[in-house]
Amino acid sequence: MRILIASDKFKGSATGAEVAESLGDGIRRVIPDAVIEAVPVADGGEGTVDAAVASGFEPVTVEVTGPVGDPVSARFAVRGAEAIIEMAAASGLDLLPHGEKAPLTATSRGTGELMAAALDRGCTTIVLGVGGSACTDGGAGMLQALGVSLRAADGPVPAGGVALADLVSVDVSGLDPRLPGAAVVLASDVDNPLLGDRGAAAVFAPQKGASADDVAALEAALSRFAELLEADPGVRPSAEAPGAGAAGGVGYAALAVLGASREPGIEVVQRLTGLADRLVGVDLVITGEGSLDDQSLGGKTPLGVAAAARAAGVPVVAVCGRSTLSDDQVRDAGFRHVYALSALEPDPASSIANAKALLVDVGARIARDRFRPALPEH
């Protein structure tokens, strides 16, 4: 039996590698000679650099500006002239001191500093994976780190999205001269625009601690930012572009100023890991993430893996902490079955705390369910 495990992390309880290891331990309890291969995957957000490193990229660590201005140590990955960057490594929610959210003042500056570090290493292709960001600054901090001038009446605009309401001038002429010769890929499944009911402030800022009043203030500030930025003839109008609202509007800055192209995150990771080639000769694919829900259907890791497995004619099952998908949704997604840890441990806190042990049990169950007819009789 040859089994490929390509699972995203179970946030707060197990990394993708730990998910694969635990499932493999369970499978071998039932099929000791099973050939199990783990492929690191992600959706372009957190875990993308790990997937790249596991696929042969070199990890690089630099010090950058964190989301509230404190220095943080951030890692990206390089292979040849290609760099893989995770916004969350520099500007992520998990980097907020003591977990105290800063929806109005958090900055994306560190993400721009990571891009500059990649350019310093000679990279001409930069894949920017977005997700898990702490900021709603329209990518203003990222652009400032790359040489764009954003000024209020009394000097440079301070960090954070709400400060953009005071913007009086934008000058992109100082943009790092290496960027026009580089290809920037925005790895994101988010198709939201920058502004409006589906925009960065309305949809995502509440997840970053924004109140209703904060959302209104951020919306107005981002609107001012887009108005002045797009008055520059060197800027591509992108406020309505799919993906502009990604990562608090960093998608907008990347599309409008950096000339980025947008690619679904899972497709980027599949390319990095060579997933299609590794599906040849496989009897079963196991994928998963912490929660399988309606958001997963928008292009998260398990759906991308399922599509690749289906194209290769390989059956696929999903593992998750919990699932809210209906039977029809499971079938339409391409899964033969969904195994949820909540079925073994209904208490969420216990399920999270004991995820690895529960995954071992799930691995054994998958082996029995999927390969029972082929197992030798005892």
> How distant, in Å, are the alpha carbons of 100, 118, 261 from that of 187?
27, 16, 9
Mean pLDDT by 10 residues, the chain (378 residues): 92 89 96 92 82 91 97 97 96 94 97 98 96 95 98 95 97 96 92 96 96 98 97 93 95 97 88 90 95 80 91 95 92 94 94 95 95 56
Distance, CA of 135 to CA of 205 (rounded, Å)? 8
pTM for this entry: 0.87
2-39+274-374 maps to which CATH number?
3.40.50.10350
Closest to 6 (Cα-Cα) out of 352, 297, 276, 195 = 276
Q: What angle do CA 153, 225, 68 make, to 5 degrees?
A: 80
Q: What does the block give as tokens for 252?
A: 């907008």
Domain coordinates of the chain in residue numbers?
Answer: 2-39+274-374, 48-265
48-265 maps to which CATH number?
3.90.1510.10
Return the H-helix or E-strand segment holding 365.
Answer: helix 355-371
Instruction: Please give the pLDDT value at position 374.
Output: 54
**Sheet with 155-156, side-by-side order of all strands:** 155-156, 149-152, 169-171
Return the H-helix or E-strand segment holding 213.
Answer: helix 212-229
What is the DSSP code (8-state) at residue 166? G
What is the DSSP code (8-state) at residue 321? E
Q: Mapping DSSP to helix (H, G, I), strand (E, B) and coil, where does residue 374 land?
A: helix
Q: What does the block give as tokens for 104?
A: 């109005």
Distance, CA of 60 to CA of 81 (rounded, Å)? 13
Paired with 78 in beta bridges are 58, 83
For residues 96, 101, 103, 104, the Cα torsion angle rounded to the nearest 10 degrees is: -80
Strands 2-7 and 284-292 come out as parallel
Q: What does the block give as tokens for 280?
A: 């040849």
